[in-house]
Amino acid sequence: MNIFTTFDIAASGLSAQRTRLNTISANLANAETTSTPEGGPYKKKSVVFQSEPVSFKNQLNTVMNRHAEGVKVAKIIEDNDPPQQIYNPSHPDADENGYVAMPNVNVLKEMVDMMSATRSYEANTTAIKSAKRMALKALDIGS
């Protein structure tokens, strides 16, 4: 595997984690949204990843035909869990019984997911920095 394949794989991870962080941020921002344009409370969204082969050129350059794969966002799905029913008869979105349908967003779980995505983003950044340092050391050896 050449050095550029390492960069491609880590860059795909950075892009995927950025999308995950943006989705988590949207979930947190809408944790109290009881009315959306689609109707009803906001529904939590999750990112689904899938492996993705790196470029054809890099595939040909890999040693002994090993396949290097990166990651991509396959889709962003809405959670189908029912909304939380909170009793608040004075709320403008309360039903006839006084219950308000609140989003199915668990703020604590979202914060844990955000920390995990941040750590994954940092790991990909570290991989790029390490590959860069190795390439520079190889150039030093060659000179």
Q: Measured between alpha carbons, how far is 94 from 86 in angstroms, rounded to an integer?
A: 9
- CA-atom Rg of the chain in angstroms: 22
Q: Measured between alpha carbons, how far is 75 from 78 in angstroms, rounded to an integer?
A: 10
Q: Check residue 68 and report its DSSP letter.
A: P
> Taking CA 5 as the corner, what is the angle to CA 123 and CA 142, rounded to the nearest 5 degrees?
100
Reported as a pLDDT band with limits 50, 70 and 90, residue 4 is confident
Handedness of CA 104, 106, 111, 114 (dihedral sign): negative
What's the pLDDT at 22?
97
Q: What is the mean pLDDT of residues 99-115?
A: 95
What's the pLDDT at 116?
96
What are the E-state strand segments in the chain?
45-53, 69-78, 84-87, 99-102
How many residues can be counted in the chain? 143
Reported as a pLDDT band with limits 50, 70 and 90, residue 69 is confident
53 has a pLDDT exceeding 90: no
